[in-house]
Structure 1
Amino acid sequence: MNFTALTPPLGDNRKLIDRFMKPLSLFFILFLSLGATLSFAQKGKLSGKAKLKAQLESHRWTSPLPEEKAKALPKNVRHATFKSPSMKIEVGYYVVLPYGYHAPENKNKKYPVVYHLHGGRPGAESKSVSLAGFVLKAMRTGKIQPTLYVFPNGGPMSWYNFPQAENGLGEDVFVKELIPHVDATYRTFGTRSKRGIEGFSQGGRGTTRIMFKHPELFGSTAPGGSGYEPEEKIRDNEGAESGAIKFVSGYDAWSLAKAYSKRKNVPPLKPMLWVGAKGFNYDYNLKYMIYLDQLGISYEKLIVPDAPHSAKIIYEKKGLELMQFHDRNFGP
């Protein structure tokens, strides 16, 4: 028997092999791609949790500047602490004392106070204290009245209550503990009409939430460069900012503004929203202004041309307008 006749030519074998292997190769590539995608997603989820864990563990409720940097601060800027009644630990803050605060002739004089909420996570009272120089210059030159400025520590989640973390109630420590401590320790008026709040980025988010949640506390409010996009995400996802971070549903700048607009007999707020026109969240700040218009909430706006997402640069360019906004609200 001639077996040669029964054996396909070599070229035919290759064609058969190619026809058989190409689908297998495609399937194998798709299988590997799917596995890589799932693996990446799992790693991303884990990295989010790991990042949160590292953030929470790195936070310290007392975070002063390093000694060398602290030496460069004006003498009117002081670091202080108080013992938190709820946490039983020391909580740090910086306070800017007006010129003449300790002069004998001023021993009975009282002062308005502005709280500046820092950006970023986790919290640290040292993060925004460099703005103190602008404040002191404005007071020294008579552009604003003598005023205390306080730079608090926002806690592990920066101005949010985050009970999942140990000692994680950043908002409560600020509102329920620091403010009463400052009023008891320094010669503030201790009244809504002479108390202001401002902040930038995360601090702008915190300022917005806190002013709408506690309008009875602040007569002057100014959220700046606020991250209203993640706040909207929290609203739309029942409190979830990400896979790793979840707050109570309704605990966001959009929901709290709406709730405030529906409340009866609440103290009026007319905040100043300030933002750099070249900041990455500029458009969302404009969107939030439109939202306030829809809710019937009045506001002023301070848009700084050519300014990026930087509180310091905005203060350099237009900080005096922001400080004078508070000054007008405080009155003589």
Structure 2
Amino acid sequence: MIRFLFLAVITASLTGVLVAAEPPVSAKPEATDKAKLDKKKPPAPFAWVNPLPSKHQHPALKHSTFQSPSLGVDVGYAILLPPSYQSTQASKRYPVVYYLHGGRPGSEAKSVALAPMIYSEMESGNVGELIYVFVNGGPVSHYNMPDEPTKQGADVFIKELIPHIDATYRTIADRDHRGIEGFSQGGRGTMRLSLRHPDLFSSAAAGGGGYETERKISESGGQESETLVFAKGDNTWDLAKAYARRKSPAVKWLIYVGTQGFNYENNLAYMEFLKSLGIPFQKIIVPDVPHSGLQIYQQQCTEIMQFHAKNLGATKLDA
């Protein structure tokens, strides 16, 4: 993969940090970045099943559904199987990473543009083999809405999708071999759910999360807006404080963000907050990249995947 930047290994007080030519903290994101997102056409109506667009088809990428016990409806997901999955003996099992999309409402098709890059890294032997599952985050992406039974996106993922994947595919079905990742809303979800469920995930990579919004939710007792009020304490700030009091089971965290993304500064602030709590993490800062999980992957796919592969004990194709 072509590299557009040089990497330097930085030794920090809490952790070894992989930083891509990090700029001064005072660097400001482009004001037009968020404005461009705000001008996008309204999202499509929410659906629990969303077939993959024709432009994002891939031989190893499969769309499937399971019936949600709590909702009584089919729920869609996309799954990327590693190169050796079909050709190896049925006894071989693989670690799994759950990828949480950005934006609202949910759709399992939102992040599958990453699949070709992910597969190529495994096929080339750059990264150990992993199963990737692309999650539908529900009507309010990756959150549960109190007292609204049809809007429990987090529980459908945690309590229903994960058991379905472990029962249906050859995963190594334990926390030591299960990771979680996401970008933007999915970055928020990754951090929040890994803090809440360290018993389920041992590796978590949170990209470009909106931690200022999470702080607002914490300080307002759960309110993000007039129409979105979450359970008190269900945010990345309060959950980090709760985790810091026990620090077990240990989760390995990676936070990554582009310097031109509108969440850049609040990602730096959240990193400082984690440091103040004594919660270790790694970080990847990507210069001159806007709020785009795809553009970050175009530069840092190998490093992000290697983070999971090392944590989850993934073996390379030629091993």
Give the structure-1-normalised TM-score.
0.80
Amino acid aligned to 1:304: V
**1:97 — aligned with what?**
81
Q: Is the Cα–Cα contact under 8 Å of residues 100 and 106 in structure 1 kept in the other structure?
A: no
Q: Is the Cα–Cα contact under 8 Å of residues 74 and 133 in structure 1 kept in the other structure?
A: yes
C-alpha separation between the residues in 2 aligned to 1:322 and 1:94? 20
SS in 2 for 1:58: coil
Q: Is the Cα–Cα contact under 8 Å of residues 269 and 298 in structure 1 kept in the other structure?
A: no
Which of these two proteins has the greater Rg computed from alpha carbons? 1
CA shift, 1:270, in A, is: 2.5
Identical aligned residues as a percent: 51
CA shift, 1:165, in A, is: 4.2
CA shift, 1:100, in A, is: 2.5
**1:291 — aligned with what?**
273
SS in 1 for 2:285: strand
SS in 1 for 2:301: helix
More strand by share: 2
Gaps (5+ residues) in structure 1? 1-53
More helix by share: 1
Q: Report the aligned-residue RMSD.
A: 1.5
C-alpha separation between the residues in 2 aligned to 1:119 and 1:164? 24
CA shift, 1:194, in A, is: 0.8
Q: Is the Cα–Cα contact under 8 Å of residues 223 and 229 in structure 2 kept in the other structure?
A: yes
**2:284 — aligned with what?**
302
Which 4+ stretches in 1 moved above 4 angstroms?
none
1:269 to 225, 248, 251: 251
Deviations 1:125-157 (A, max 9, x none): 000011001110101100111210000100000
**2:65 — aligned with what?**
81
CA shift, 1:169, in A, is: 0.3
**1:63 — aligned with what?**
50
Deviations 1:66-103 (A, max 9, x none): 4x33xx51110000000001111000000001113122
- 1:232 maps to 2:219: no
CA shift, 1:65, in A, is: 2.5
**2:307 — aligned with what?**
325
SS in 1 for 2:97: strand
SS in 2 for 1:271: strand
1:110 to 93, 105, 110: 93
Change (3 A) 1:100 1:269: closer
> Is 165-174 or 143-152 further displaced after alignment?
165-174
Amino acid aligned to 1:136: Y
CA shift, 1:113, in A, is: 0.5
C-alpha separation between the residues in 2 aligned to 1:166 and 1:60? 15
Deviations 1:237-261 (A, max 9, x none): 1100011211111111100000111
CA shift, 1:164, in A, is: 4.8
Aligned length, in residue pairs:
273
Larger RCO (CA under 8 A, 6+ residues apart) = 2
Gaps (5+ residues) in structure 2? 1-41
SS in 2 for 1:190: coil
Give the structure-2-normalised TM-score.
0.83
CA shift, 1:191, in A, is: 1.1
> Is 105-114 or 299-308 further displaced after alignment?
105-114
2:195 to 212, 232, 251: 212
